[in-house]
Amino acid sequence: MKNDPNYMSGAEIFFECLRRENVEYIFGYPGGAVLKIYEHLYDVDFLKHILVRHEQGAVHAAEGYAKASGKVGVVLVTSGPGATNTVTGIADAYMDSVPIVVFTGQVSSHLIGNDAFQEADIVGITRPITKHNFLVRDVKELASTIKKAFYIASTGRPGPVVVDLPKDVIASKCIFKYPEEVDVRGYKPTYKGNSNQIKKAAEIISKAKRPLLYVGGGVIMSGSSEELKIFARENKLPVTMTLQGLGAFPGTDPLSLGMLGMHGTYWANRAVDNCDVLVSLGARFDDRVTGKVETFCNKAYKIHVDIDPTAIDKNVIVDLPIVGDVKHVLAELAAEMINPPDTTEWLEQIEEWKNECPLDYEKNDGRLRSEFVIEKIFEKTKGDAVVVTDVGQHQMWTAQYYKYNHPRSNITSGGLGTMGFGLPASIGASFAVKDRPVVCISGDGGFQMNIQELITAVYNKLPLKIFILNNSFLGMVRQWQELFHQEKYSFTDLGNSNPDFVKVSQAFGIESYSTDNPNEVESLLDKAMSINDRPILIEFRVVKEDMVFPMIPSGASISDMMVKRLNPKRMI
């Protein structure tokens, strides 16, 4: 056996498996429990290990890579604190259905349960926030477990998978054989939708007077943007998108209504409220979309296409559920559509709403505003950039003002709303995307949550364009304080406690600029776009007290939509 060339250690098997899964990048951080893996990594040349500066950064980077590329993002960390540092990122990937595989080191099998040095029950900890997880108990199970992990992460409704690797398993040896196929009998995603249901859907859409497509991240994940484009255009169907769905349909297309929901456009939300047939494609009726469920879209016949049966009837009871992959279902649906509905009047009505209450902000007082900066970023990149955001007001403004032309271009933390996501995720995306600019838009608060990853961008010479919209506030929280909490600006004013972002960047070795002058924005953006071999950071010092509108308060109805600040005196 020992002479068999396939007689390998767990660490060698680990890399053989990654080779067969065509892994290009690992985002990782070494430590005691994974030293053996790092020992072999030293000689591995078919993939690149990206050293982050915090394990949370590794997971977000893997997410950014996965979202931009459509491939599985891979993370490698040590046991105990290395593993627990990944938890926020894993929860984030779970909420937004991002395919990643996280390999965690673990103490040796015989020490598990002993409160050994750097032991943490990461399989127990991550059970509710993973699609699945594994503790590998025998080196003989390693290859098949890794195969299953990649398969489960990337198929069906994608999600994070954790593989916990005890130190002794990595060190012990067996004959390596990579399984050709996987069979997990408890896991059989449904790809093909029920044909009768699809036929019925086509009939109903054909007869609709005011149909609306409500599109989520599932369209992007399943790679059905092309199909969607053809389907919507051929049948003249207006399209509204969730935060994760932005990019699934070109934002500049006249049929695009932009985002719906809490900070969605006025016209998208009016369309939801007044449509007679709502077709949900790969979206999950999340509470940021529906507000008060009882009043959400309650005049319409609802069709819901989703690969995950649990998404159906979870928040909103629908009339026609279709479980399946959007790609398959859309193809079949398009073929079944014999008569496109006549939507001329409906589209005119939507146009009226658009004119009634367009997205707007103060442009004439000479002060710099986030909306303006984002509009300029859109103009400079023509909607072709990959735009990664952090969480907060700047995220919502980006969703409103950046009109994505392509799928896999909008990378943002939606379900979990994780501050600190932006910078590391944009680093991950930069490894996946070489032919288009990658832009990171962050708030001054969230930027400080994974600021250490600046060095990862510098060291890898990533041509990342980092834009901080510094309003000297935890802006989104401030907005809620003004609107709903008696203007008690409790611990959200960072005016006197922010670092000097330019100096910080310089310390990391990043060329950086700062401005509060609207007239300088274009030239600074031109400069940023012209650099292609290293990161650049620009701080835009924007108006402190701006708020994101429209806004439907949490749990409220479309009739409660606020379209502008009621008391403009609150602006200083």
Partner 1 sequence: MKKHTISILVENHFGAFDRVATMFSGKGFNIRSISIGETEIEEISRMTVVTEGDDKIIDQIVKQLNRLIDTIKVVDLTGSPHIERELALIKVSVPKGSMEEIKNINDIFRGNIVDITGRSMTLEITGPPDKIDAAINLLSAFGIKEIARSGIVALKRGEQIKIKKEKNLTT
Ligand X SMILES: Cc1ncc(C[n+]2csc(CCOP(=O)(O)OP(=O)(O)O)c2C)c(N)n1
Cα–Cα distance measured from residue 248 to residue 386, given in angstroms and rounded to the nearest whole number: 13
Q: Which of residues 322 and 542 has its CB atom nearest to ligand X in the complex? A: 542
Query: Interface with ligand X includes 57 (CB under 6 A)?
Result: no
Cα–Cα distance measured from residue 491 to residue 474, given in angstroms and rounded to the nearest whole number: 8
Tell me the per-residue interface mask from 284 to 313 with partner 1, x by CB under 8 A, - otherwise. Answer: ------------------------xxx-xx
Active site residue 539: no
Q: Which of residues 235 and 479 has its CB atom nearest to ligand X in the complex? A: 479
Residues near 3 by Cβ (< 8 Å), separated by ≥ 6?
none
Query: Interface with ligand X includes 92 (CB under 6 A)?
Result: no
Residues near 388 by Cβ (< 8 Å), separated by ≥ 6?
64, 411, 412, 422, 425, 426, 429, 438, 439, 440, 441
Helix (H, G, I), strand (E, B) or coil at 27: strand
Cα–Cα distance measured from residue 63 to residue 70, given in angstroms and rounded to the nearest whole number: 10
Using the rule CB under 8 A, which residue among 19, 110, 177, 207 binds partner 1? 177
Indicate the DSSP class of residue 112.
T
Select from 170-178, 296-304, 466-474, 505-513 the region that touches ligand X (CB under 6 A): 466-474
Tell me the per-residue interface mask from 156 to 175 with partner 1, x by CB under 8 A, - otherwise. Answer: ------------------xx
With CB under 5 to 8 Å by kind, the binding choice for 317 among ligand X, partner 1, none is partner 1
Query: Interface with ligand X includes 463 (CB under 6 A)?
Result: no
Active-site hit among 24, 118, 336, 511: 118
Cα–Cα distance measured from residue 326 to residue 225, given in angstroms and rounded to the nearest whole number: 10
CB count within 10 Å of CB 467 equals 26
Closest C-alpha among 393, 14, 406 to residue 171: 14
CB count within 10 Å of CB 294 equals 9
Edge-to-edge strand list for the sheet holding 536-541: 410-411, 386-389, 438-443, 465-470, 536-541, 511-515
Select from 23-31, 91-99, 299-307, 438-446 the region that touches ligand X (CB under 6 A): 438-446
Query: Interface with partner 1 includes 118 (CB under 8 A)?
Result: no
Q: Which of residues 31 and 420 has its CB atom nearest to ligand X in the complex? A: 420
Select from 176-184, 213-221, 324-332, 360-368 the region that touches partner 1 (CB under 8 A): 176-184
Active site residue 117: yes
With CB under 5 to 8 Å by kind, the binding choice for 504 among partner 1, ligand X, none is none
Q: Which of residues 238 and 264 has its CB atom nearest to ligand X in the complex? A: 264
With CB under 5 to 8 Å by kind, the binding choice for 159 among partner 1, ligand X, none is none
Active-site hit among 46, 117, 484, 491: 117
Tell me the per-residue interface mask from 396 to 435 with ligand X, x by CB under 6 A, - otherwise. Answer: ---------------------xxxx---------------
Query: Interface with ligand X includes 471 (CB under 6 A)?
Result: yes
Cα–Cα distance measured from residue 53 to residue 46, given in angstroms and rounded to the nearest whole number: 23
Using the rule CB under 6 A, which residue among 477, 483, 502, 531 binds ligand X? 477
Residues near 527 by Cβ (< 8 Å), separated by ≥ 6?
513, 536
Q: 570: number of CA atoms within 13 Å, CB side?
A: 18
Active-site hit among 12, 21, 55, 63: 55
Beta carbon of residue 474, minimum distance to ligand X (angstroms, whole number): 4
Active-site hit among 36, 131, 140, 167: 167
CA 178 to chain centre: 32
Cα–Cα distance measured from residue 397 to residue 33, given in angstroms and rounded to the nearest whole number: 43
Cα–Cα distance measured from residue 427 to residue 438, given in angstroms and rounded to the nearest whole number: 9
Angle (nearest 5°) at CA 235 between 232 and 236 = 70
Tell me the per-residue interface mask from 324 to 363 with ligand X, x by CB under 6 A, - otherwise. Answer: ----------------------------------------
Query: Interface with partner 1 includes 408 (CB under 8 A)?
Result: no
Active site residue 562: no
Tell me the per-residue interface mask from 196 to 225 with ligand X, x by CB under 6 A, - otherwise. Answer: ------------------------------
With CB under 5 to 8 Å by kind, the binding choice for 12 among ligand X, partner 1, none is none
With CB under 5 to 8 Å by kind, the binding choice for 417 among ligand X, partner 1, none is ligand X
Q: What is the largest CA-CA distance in the chain?
A: 81
CA 543 to chain centre: 27
Active-site hit among 95, 449, 476, 561: 476
Using the rule CB under 6 A, which residue among 28, 156, 247, 475 binds ligand X? 475
With CB under 5 to 8 Å by kind, the binding choice for 445 among ligand X, partner 1, none is ligand X
Helix (H, G, I), strand (E, B) or coil at 69: helix
Select from 60-68, 118-126, 180-188, 465-473 the region that touches ligand X (CB under 6 A): 465-473
Q: 79: number of CA atoms within 13 Å, CB side?
A: 27
R_g of the chain computed on alpha carbons: 24
Residues near 504 by Cβ (< 8 Å), separated by ≥ 6?
451, 454
Using the rule CB under 8 A, which residue among 5, 186, 366, 568 binds partner 1? 186
With CB under 5 to 8 Å by kind, the binding choice for 182 among ligand X, partner 1, none is partner 1
Residues near 82 by Cβ (< 8 Å), separated by ≥ 6?
29, 31, 33, 34, 55, 104, 105, 118
Query: 222-259 burial, b for 16+ CB within 10 Å, e for fewer?
Result: bebbebbbebbeebbbbbbbbbbbbbbbbbeeebbbbb
Using the rule CB under 8 A, which residue among 93, 123, 271, 411 binds partner 1? 123
Query: Interface with ligand X includes 65 (CB under 6 A)?
Result: no
Q: Which residue ranges make up the site for partner 1 (CB under 8 A)?
A: 123-124, 127-128, 131-132, 135, 137, 140-144, 147, 152, 174-179, 181-187, 308-310, 312-314, 317
Positions marked active-site = 55, 117-118, 167, 476
Residues that bind ligand X (CB under 6 A): 390-394, 417-420, 443-446, 469, 471, 473-477
